[in-house]
Structure 1
Amino acid sequence: MQTLTATPVLDVEPAVHGEGPTWDAARRELLWVDIDAGQVRRATVSAAGVLAEVGVHRGGDTVGFVVPASGGGWLLGADGGFTHLSADGTATVLLTIDGEGPDAGTRMNDGAVDPVGRLFGGTMGLDERPGAGSLYRVDLDGSVHTALTDLTISNGIEWTADGRTVYLADSGVAQIRAYDYDVDSGAFGDSRVFLDLSDDDGPPDGLTMDDEDHVWVALWGAGQVRRYSPAGELVAVVRVGAANTSSCAFAGPSLDHLVISTSTQGLTDVPPDAGRLFVVRPGVTGRPAGVYRGPVDALRRA
């Protein structure tokens, strides 16, 4: 098994609750969010893996994820729904989902785009209560559908290269499930437990996939990111000098650097590197973020 150590990015200020690193290939920028600060942050990544922050934008009271949009700017999972963030930093709420948001005791959490450009965004209870989370799908016509219910903390989501399988982490039950996926309709089918980490060092949080269809997943509270084969075999561990490893993504011109986000959430004595980004070159390459290809001016509940 391969063991690697990630390096903290000292030239970028730490986040309060860093999450969701995402590589915007069109802009050649790394995106990530500070959930508790309601911020979207942007940085360049050099071929050598050096990060330089180029922008910070307010996206809401909380921002769970950010993805590139073909119509310009980015789409966010913010507060209790979806928000468009323009290139000049203007945030426009597109839809607040009935039964979600602070008044309902929930917020948007992680999200990603499928192979044809649909957006999926999940929710969680602010008190992390079981069954409070759901997963929503935004179709290419801007209609918003409920994809899954009865989740606890809907978290990392990503598709295999052929689009026929989608992995979804539920941190509340410490599992990653593999679902059959219909690319034509965006429907989730039969599922199986891909990983059960309930007796491990920490629950699965954000995840990504590499060009060999291996899953890279951050383990919350464990200070590590792990690589698993399609068969669920542990093949690599990345050690991170911050306990609350929250997510990861491949970034840089060649997509050969793994960028890892961390958080200070729940820490009473905050170590110096908590909340920082970390970088490691794992010897494999990944994929850029999927691009949302629906409207950026209006969404509607189906």
Structure 2
Amino acid sequence: MKRLTATPATSAPAEHGEGPIWDAATAELVWVDITAGLVRRGRVDGDDVVDVAQHRGGGTVGFVVPVEAGGWLLGADGGITRLSADGEADVLVELAGEGGSAEAGGTRMNDGGCDRAGRFFGGTMAFDERPGAGSLHRLDLDGTVRTVLDGLTVSNGLGWSPDDRTMYLSDSGAKQVWALDYDPATGTSGQRRVLLDFTDDPDGVADGLTVDDEGCLWTALWGGGQVRRYSPDGDLLAVVEVPAENTTSCAFAGDLLVISTSVHGMDDAARAARPDAGKLFTVRPGVSGPPANPYRGPLTALRET
């Protein structure tokens, strides 16, 4: 089994860094700071990521994807927001049954992505992480929004196999990563099956994920200070050690793996022990990955079914 160690980038740390993506159209690394409600943009310089800009996207921003027509689409607060190239945020739809404050037991968008066709998928979770309060929603190419999975806890990392026939979804609350048969023509998925189970893993639970060009999964471990590579059959192939306890997600910028981390929930002693926590980390693992798929649907007249 291959073992590697990631090194910190010079970009400024986040409170709750998450969801890095490589935006091929802008040649930028884009990620979010969930609790700060920010979208962060960076330039890859060798093995480093250098800050370019940041934009306010909402009260909380769970994830970001590029838009084919320009700008980005966000899973923000309890709905979907368009962020223009000049940083203007415009709420497109507030999802029924989602949103609200933490004090009132509300939910928020957490993680998501687009399939190759350009459909947008966004998962949710309750602020208090209560079981069964999360869902997975799909924004189709005709502007229709529908709930495709419910009863989740912390809907998290999302990705597809290179042939688009398998969708991967992690639920950090259930401590599992599922594989689902996927129909790329319709955007529908079949019954989920457990691919990875972290119930008894002492190193943490699955958080965000990405899929490399060889079809293997890279899964960040919240609480474990690791990113792990697994085969499509669930065999452990590599471990990247990250000097930050809460690794949250990862993405490829060509053959550079970029890893996001968080200090959310850490006390002062834990932060002092992990001074680079909250930063992006990078490593070259000897394999490449694709850029983020852009959203290709309409940006107005969205409707729920």
Tell me the TM-score normalized by structure 1: 0.97
Secondary structure at 2:87 match in 1: coil
Q: Return the offset for 1:50.
A: 2.2
Q: Return the offset for 1:296.
A: 2.1
- How many residue pairs get aligned? The number is 297
Query: Which residue does 1:268 correspond to in 2?
Result: 267
2:19 is the alignment partner of 1:16: no
Letter of the 1:299 counterpart:
L
Mapped to 1, the partners of 2:111 and 2:266 lie a distance apart of 21
Q: Return the offset for 1:192.
A: 1.0
Q: Return the offset for 1:77.
A: 0.2
Mapped to 2, the partners of 1:142 and 1:116 lie a distance apart of 14
Q: Return the offset for 1:236.
A: 0.2
Mapped to 2, the partners of 1:190 and 1:154 lie a distance apart of 16
Letter of the 2:2 counterpart:
Q
Mapped to 2, the partners of 1:231 and 1:141 lie a distance apart of 34
CA shift digits 1:127-181 (9 cap, x unpaired): 0000000000000111101110000000000000111100000000100000011
Secondary structure at 1:102 match in 2: coil
Whether the 8 Å contact between 2:28 and 2:42 is mirrored in structure 1 is yes
Query: Which residue does 1:101 correspond to in 2?
Result: 99
Mapped to 2, the partners of 1:126 and 1:289 lie a distance apart of 27
Query: Which residue does 2:282 correspond to in 1?
Result: 279
Letter of the 1:32 counterpart:
W
Letter of the 2:34 counterpart:
I
Secondary structure at 1:267 match in 2: coil
Alignment partner of 1:215 out of 209, 214, 217: 217
Tell me the TM-score normalized by structure 2: 0.96
Alignment partner of 1:55 out of 49, 53, 56: 53
Q: Structure 1 unaligned segments of length 5 or more: list them.
A: none
Query: Which residue does 2:252 correspond to in 1?
Result: 250
Mapped to 2, the partners of 1:13 and 1:171 lie a distance apart of 26
Question: How well do the aligned residues superpose, as a CA RMSD in angstroms?
Answer: 0.9
Letter of the 2:289 counterpart:
G
Mapped to 1, the partners of 2:19 and 2:301 lie a distance apart of 24
Mapped to 1, the partners of 2:298 and 2:67 lie a distance apart of 9
2:258 is the alignment partner of 1:259: yes
Whether the 8 Å contact between 2:143 and 2:300 is mirrored in structure 1 is no
Mapped to 2, the partners of 1:39 and 1:192 lie a distance apart of 34
Whether the 8 Å contact between 1:155 and 1:169 is mirrored in structure 2 is yes
Of the structure 1 ranges 288-297 and 220-229, higher mean CA displacement relative to structure 2 is found in 288-297
Q: Return the offset for 1:108.
A: 0.2
| 1:135-146 alignment runs, 5 A limit | 135-146=136-147
CA shift digits 1:209-252 (9 cap, x unpaired): 1111000000000000000011111010000000000000001x
Letter of the 2:25 counterpart:
A
Whether the 8 Å contact between 2:225 and 2:242 is mirrored in structure 1 is yes
Query: Which residue does 1:189 correspond to in 2?
Result: 190
Runs of 4+ in structure 1 deviating by more than 3 angstroms, as ranges, are: none
Letter of the 1:101 counterpart:
G
Mapped to 1, the partners of 2:96 and 2:132 lie a distance apart of 16
Query: Which residue does 1:164 correspond to in 2?
Result: 165
Q: Structure 2 unaligned segments of length 5 or more: list them.
A: none
Query: Which residue does 1:32 correspond to in 2?
Result: 31
Whether the 8 Å contact between 1:119 and 1:137 is mirrored in structure 2 is yes
Query: Which residue does 1:113 correspond to in 2?
Result: 114
Q: Return the offset for 1:298.
A: 3.7
What percentage of residue pairs aligned between the two structures are identical? 63
